[in-house]
Amino acid sequence: MKEISLGKEMLSEFMGTMVLIIFGAGNVAMTVLFGKTLNITWDNITFGWGLAVLLGIMAGLPSGAHINPAVSLALAATGRFPWRKVLPYSVAQVAGGFAGAAIVFLDFKAKWLGVDPQLASTAGIFCTFPAITTSYLPGFIDQIIGTAVLMFGILAIGDFAGKNNVGWMGPVLVAALIVAIGMSLGAMHGYAINPARDFGPRFFALVAGFTQPNLMEPGIVLVPIVGPIIGGPLGAFIYDWTTGAVNKAQG
């Protein structure tokens, strides 16, 4: 396959992350703004985010569809991706998250302002907030674990798909992984497991005039950024030291 320029790779990451947020945050908007009338539940959110990731991967395929700075960092830390591309990819991913959130807000604006005219309580449609509010530590631990599981799973799926010549299954299995993480680990801190997925839409909420008091509280902002940045490489290293090492030994 012919290599593309870094600029085109960044555009691919931008589009992939934008699509991720259009469907992911759009799914949450449906739940918050119409949940009572449509009888939408947590299952809808977890399956919706899984499909959002699947479609985001499809949109970001030319660049490898990282759509997550923690993934780009983990791949670089384990020698699978050039370090020089981590920052440009991350910038494109955050920008894509911002753009996706803007599109969701534009689509739902009339209903949104009817439900929350002061924009004081619905920023959670865009970004994550902790279930435990007395300390940032539980959410921080949750984000490390969740992102480590995500990265371990991505690498395991990639090796499985490559070994069995079923590359087309990779995006589907990653989507299923996201559904599983949401159902199993999702409630402690909204399973951001992706700094761009959280900060891009959060920054849009700030620019758009959302007045929720804890929107930009430093600890709440940093948990879904720092936690995944630690968890992504951790999951990749654990994979390489365990299952990945066994796969290599088997040839």
Residues 71 and 232: beta-carbon distance below 8 Å: yes
For 125-135, what is the mean pLDDT?
Answer: 97
Residue-by-residue DSSP string for 97-154 = HHHHHHHHHHHHHHHHHHH-TT--S-GGGTS---S--S-SHHHHHHHHHHHHHHHHHH
End-to-end CA distance of the chain: 25
Question: What are the structure tokens assigned to 151, written together?
Answer: 């990265």
Assign residue 4 a region: left if phi > 0, alpha if psi is -120 to 50, beta otherwise? beta
| Cα angle for residues 209, 192, 207 (degrees, 5° grid) | 15
Percentage with pLDDT > 90 across the chain: 92
For residue 211, what pLDDT is reported? 95
* DSSP secondary structure letter of residue 171: H
- Percent of the chain residues past pLDDT 70, beyond the cut: 99
Chain segment 197-240, per-residue pLDDT in tens? 999 999 999 999 999 999 999 999 999 999 999 999 999 999 99
Whether 195 and 69 have beta carbons less than 8 Å apart is answered as yes
In tens, the pLDDT along 75-95 reads 999 999 999 999 999 999 999
Q: Identify the pLDDT of residue 2.
A: 75
- Cβ-contact 150, 235 below 8 angstroms: yes
Q: Looking at residue 1, what is its pLDDT?
A: 56
Q: Domains plus CATH for the chain?
A: 6-246 (1.20.1080.10)
Task: Dump pLDDT digits (tens) for 49-72.
Answer: 999 999 999 999 999 999 999 999
